[in-house]
Structure 1
Amino acid sequence: MVAEMIPLFGPVPGGMELAVILLIAVLLFGANKIPKLARSTGEAMGEFKKGRQEVETELAEMQNSESDAANADSNPTVDAETSDSA
């Protein structure tokens, strides 16, 4: 059985659809604003990726510290001489 991939956003527009979308964008924003819009969109995506990586790193560190704490609780290394004298 072959697993079928389900697209998240539906079908990707073809050549004519992209031309219509581009024409509407030029009419709405003007030809001078489109490069600025694309640049700001790219910067926003970069910031989003950077923030996502920071969150993933923090989560991984939290999981590692929790597993280290669990291992320390389950395997206490107590010196036999100090526990006998107490």
Structure 2
Amino acid sequence: MSLGPLEIILILVVVLLLFGAKKLPEIGKGLGEWIRELRHAGRELIHPGDQPPNPPGRD
């Protein structure tokens, strides 16, 4: 089951009413950073050996 366009619009209206227009860019930025970190963590789980090890003394 997925969200249709009407449900997405309803969610956006509720968020706008709860937080106000001035707060939306800050919320969007935080959400974008969270999604970026989640994707990075997912890549780490799938391909754990792709990152070089930390240099000594940098733990």
Coarse TM-score class (shorter-chain normalised): 0.5 to 0.7
Partner-residue secondary structure (3-state), 2:12: helix
1:39 aligns with 2:29: yes
Tell me, which stretches of 5 or more residues in structure 1 are unaligned? Answer: 1-9, 62-86
What residue is the counterpart of 1:11 in the other structure?
Answer: 2
Q: 1:19 to 1:48 in 2, by over 3 A?
A: closer
Greater relative CO, 1 or 2 (CA 8 Å, sep 6+): 2
TM-score normalized with structure 1 length: 0.47
Q: Which runs of 4+ in 1 moved over 6 A?
A: none
Equivalences, count: 49
Tell me, which stretches of 5 or more residues in structure 2 are unaligned? Answer: 50-59
Where do 1:60-71 residues align within 5 Å? 61=49
More helix by share: 1
What residue is the counterpart of 2:19 in the other structure?
Answer: 29
